[in-house]
Copies of this chain bind each other. A is one copy, B any other.
Amino acid sequence: MRHMKAVAPQVPVILDAKRGDIGSTAEQYAIEAFERYGADAVTLSPFMGFDSVQPYLKYHGKGAFLLCRTSNPGGDDLQNQRLASVEGQPLLYEHVARLAQGPWNLNGQLGLVVGATYPAEIERVRELAPTLPLLIPGVGAQGGDAVATVRAGLRRVGDDTTGPIIVNSSRAILYASAGDDFAQAARREAERTRDLLNAAAQQAEGAP
């Protein structure tokens, strides 16, 4: 973290810690993420409810991305369950998206994690949370389609300007090569991914 802040101070650092704990523990994890590590944002699990999220929101200028619809095979085990007890019977991930766009977003610091492996669900999350930043892992090693991802995440809803999307590729870049050329290979893969995403964004913006 110290190295990243030294060589690339303008690049936001998101600590993918997926924390989710009771309020008193969350307070300490917030200190860890924002004071000890100096992260700009953190990922959180919403499973334990609002008081497990609230302590992070005391750090104005810092962000928190809630797990919403994750990119792994088991993501639908719970996240795709339909809730009988919430108006409109949303799926669990849709309910999380609504909470993050609405009542939980006290100071506008929340975003959502939505896997690139499910573009239709990114589109659905974008409908429910038009202004939130979306953190989208799963392009690269997990096989998500970059163009479909960008289109879904940047889709305009009515006349609103949508929130930004942050598309993440980890293993495809980290493990681009196991040889001596690992640094160059990682750079090539990062640039290739960047160009692909930028082209997709231009296409998406030009799309009807």
Q: Interface on A for B, CB 8 Å cutoff?
A: 18-24, 45-53, 67, 70-86, 89, 92, 95-96, 99, 142, 171
Residues of B within 8 A of A70 (CB): 22, 47-49
Residues of B within 8 A of A20 (CB): 18, 20, 45, 47, 67
Distance (whole angstroms) from the CB of A190 to the closest CB of chain B: 19
Residues of B within 8 A of A21 (CB): 18
Residues of B within 8 A of A19 (CB): 18
A47 & B50 in contact (Cβ 8 Å cutoff)? no
Taking a contact as CB atoms closer than 8 A, the residue among B22, B71, B73 that contacts A72 in the complex is B22
Taking a contact as CB atoms closer than 8 A, the residue among B18, B73, B78, B85 that contacts A51 in the complex is B73
A89 & B84 in contact (Cβ 8 Å cutoff)? yes
Given contacts A84-B89, A95-B81, contact A47 B22 (CB under 8 A): no
**A138 CA / B52 CA spacing, docked (Å):** 15
Distance (whole angstroms) from the CB of A143 to the closest CB of chain B: 13
A74 & B51 in contact (Cβ 8 Å cutoff)? yes
Given contacts A19-B18, A81-B92, A83-B84, contact A75 B49 (CB under 8 A): yes
13 A-B pairs with CB atoms under 8 Å apart are A18-B19, A18-B21, A45-B45, A46-B78, A47-B47, A48-B67, A48-B74, A48-B77, A49-B73, A51-B72, A77-B99, A81-B86, A83-B84
Distance (whole angstroms) from the CB of A176 to the closest CB of chain B: 16
A77 & B49 in contact (Cβ 8 Å cutoff)? yes
Distance (whole angstroms) from the CB of A135 to the closest CB of chain B: 14
Residues of B within 8 A of A51 (CB): 72-74
